[in-house]
Amino acid sequence: MRTRIRRTSMVAAALLLAIDAQPIAASAATSTVGWVRLAQLSPTMAPVDGYLSPSAQTQPAMAHAAYGTISQYQPVAPGSYIAAFRAAGSSATANPLATTQLTVTAGQAYTVAAFGTAANLQVLDDALTAPAGKASVRVIEASRLSPTASVMLGTEPLAANLRSPGASPYQAVNPGAGALLVTTKAVTTQTISTNLVANSTYSVVILDGAEDIARVLVVGDATGMNAMPKGGVATGFGGTANTRHDYAPALELSLLAAMLGLAAIRQLNRRRQSG
Amino acid sequence: MRWHPKHARPHQWFVKDGRPSLGRVAAAALAVATVVGVTAAIARGASSPAPKAKSPAVVVVPIASPTGDDASASSSPAVDAHPVSIDIPVINVHTTLQTLGLDASGALEPPTNLTEAGWYTGSSVPGQNGPSVIAGHVDSFNGPAVFFNVKSLNPGDRITVGLSSGQSVAFQVMLVQHYPKTDFPTQDVYGARPDPELRLITCGGAFADGHYLDNIVVYAALAK
């Protein structure tokens, strides 16, 4: 028991550290929207149509979503929303299986998920940024057959004995090719090769699979670039700049000079001839 | 009849009493200057990029059906298709795209061609998640270049990017921003995004020592 307690406290320390390195909000200055995606991660819920309201669309934001489905992010105006999951194919006004309210802030992203065996929805805060040059990864445990999971990326632990349903904090890791080691039921370890893009964020989702082998999804949350350009771009030579006119005035001045010169020469010639 | 200044006099309207009138010469000069100026202006206008009349049928790339399998591990932009053209009808931009890399200092290389925009190969393929970066020149040494009118784009304006796969992706402008190059918001422009977005970058602001002091950045998201 003592060892278990120690391990738990180590895990707690790791989680605290990870929380410390939590995402910086994407610039509010350029984000006039927030982003919401819907996910059906409940192993006991039948396929659903997921709605987000208010919405300009009458179609479900996520249709016929079976267990393990995660929608694309949808940009939405900041404000208050209701997410509702209804049995797949039912009308948009049918009684929902589960609903939740969420408040969307500009520049923030959220995953609204049916999670666990209770018929309710949870709102996860998603990270949009990773520390410079790193990738940020979290683990979402959504398996019933494998109630706990431990995940490593190479030798870096992402989650240890994470309980289902649950999500770990994001953790900064080195980008590039790597091996994800997913251990469920404390016995089965599977290796999944990944190629994480720097300056990007990911969720590793653990789902029920066949027999003892969990199904593992690696989902991109926010996608950045391995090589972010430094600074701006030199995309102009000044030909239309307000502050400089080195073309036309030069021409005009030279013509002016030529005219004056011509006049002067003629005047001189005339004097010479008449004199 | 032998030529004589007396006879020539009436033809030289700027000559008064046998001598060029300062006022008349000045008036002539002014007229010439005006004509030259107008001609130059016309020439500049004419040198703006000619539309390459090409309007591909817009096929919006299906917003990937989410992840029943773990294919989405590849949210990396490394897919086969790459952008080959950009159309911004409201400002009459229709051009092919060259590819851009980074220079030795890590800055984005400008396009080598003034009438063609360029896509940064390290950014997302348009339609894939994350920001896709397309840069173009605002002007040459003596007239407008391909992105001259980008500064006049407004939220809601359409931008269509053609892909090498034959598909095209429709975006709409969200925001147009001016930034001093000395204070360029790298994270805003190039930082990660959860959805497919587009950035158009060109120059603007004051021109000093052979450089524009500002960059103009257009933020666009998938058209609704």
Q: pLDDT of A191-218, one tens digit each? A: 999 999 999 999 999 999 987 789 999 9
Strands of chain A (E only): list them. 34-41, 48-53, 62-65, 69-70, 74-76, 79-87, 98-104, 109-115, 121-126, 135-141, 148-153, 156-163, 166-167, 171-173, 176-184, 188-196, 201-207, 215-222
pLDDT of A265: 80
**Nearest partner of A107 among B223, B85, B197, B65, judged by Cα:** B197
Q: In Å, how far is B62's CA from the nearest CA of chain A?
A: 11
The minimum CA-CA distance between B105 and chain A, rounded to whole Å, is: 8
Residue A68 has pLDDT above 60, yes or no: yes
Is the pLDDT assigned to residue B38 strictly greater than 80?
A: no
Say yes or no: B56 contacts chain A, CB-CB below 8 A.
no
- The residue among A225, A188, A228 whose CA lies nearest residue A206 is A188
pLDDT at A185: 77
Whole-number pLDDT of residue B81: 93
What 3-state class would DSSP assign to A257?
helix
Could you give the CA distance from residue A115 to residue B196 in angstroms, rounded to a whole number? 27
Q: At what angle do helices A248-274 and B22-46 cross, to 10 degrees?
A: 150
> In the predicted model, is pLDDT for residue A2 greater than 70?
no
* Residue A251 forms contact with B (CB below 8 Å): yes
* CB-based contacts of A214, cutoff 8 Å, min separation 6: A143, A145, A146, A149, A182, A184, A188, A190, A206, A207, A208
- Report the pLDDT value the prediction gives residue B24, as an integer from 0 to 100: 53
User: What letter represents residue B95's amino acid?
Assistant: T
How far is B7 from chain A, CA to nearest CA, in Å?
12
Residue A247 binned pLDDT confidence (cut-offs 50, 70, 90): very low
Q: Retrieve residue B138's tokens.
A: 């605002």
Q: What is the DSSP letter of A262?
A: H
Touching check for B26 and chain A: CB below 8 Å? Answer: no
Neighbours of B23 (CB within 10 A): 10
Q: How confident is residue A36, by pLDDT bands cut at 50, 70 and 90? A: very high
- Residue A264 is inside which H or E element, if any? helix A248-274
Sort out which chain A residues have CB atoms less than 8 A from B175's CB and list them: 30, 32
Question: Secondary structure of chain B in the HEC alphabet?
Answer: CCCCHHHHHHHCCCEECCEECHHHHHHHHHHHHHHHHHHHHHHHHHCCCCCCCCCCCCCCCCCCCCCCCHHHHHCCCCCCCCEEEEEEHHHCEEEEEEEECECCCCCECCCCCCCCEEEECCCCCECECEEEEEECCCECCCCECCCCCHHHCCCCCEEEEEECCCCEEEEEEEEEEEEEHHHCCHHHHHCCECCEEEEEEEEEEEEECCEEEEEEEEEEEECC
Q: Report the predicted TM-score, pTM, of the whole model to 2 decimal places.
A: 0.73
Q: How confident is the model at residue B93 (pLDDT cuts 50, 70, 90)?
A: very high
What is the tens place of the pLDDT at every residue in A142-160? 999 999 999 999 999 999 9
Q: Which of residues 101-120 of A touch B (CB under 8 A)?
A: 109
Q: What is the mean pLDDT of residues B54-59?
A: 38
Q: Between A and B, how many CB-CB pairs are < 8 A?
A: 266
- Which chain B positions have a beta carbon within 8 Å of A238's beta carbon? 139, 141, 207, 210, 212
Residues 45-64 of A with CB under 8 A from B: 56, 62
**Burial bucket for residue B215 (CB in 10 Å: 0-12, 13-18, 19+):** buried
Give me the mean pLDDT over the B60-79 stretch: 37
Q: Which of A170, A128, A140 is nearest to A70 (CA)?
A: A140
Contacts (Cβ under 8 Å, ≥6 apart) of A254 = none
Q: Going by C-beta distance under 8 Å and a sequence separation of 6 or more, which residues neighbour residue B35?
A: none
The complex scores an ipTM of 0.75
Other C-beta atoms within 10 Å of B64: how many?
15
How far, in Å, CA of A148 to CA of A185, rounded?
6
Give yes or no for a cis peptide into B49 (omega within 30° of 0): no
Q: Which helix (H) or strand (E) holds A4?
A: helix A2-20
- Would you say residue B78 has pLDDT above 70? no
Contact between chains at A71 and B66 (C-beta distance less than 8 A): yes
pLDDT band at residue A100 under the 50/70/90 scheme: very high
- Predicted pLDDT at A211: 74
Inter-chain touch B175–A62, beta carbons under 8 Å: no
Higher pLDDT, A70 or A274: A70
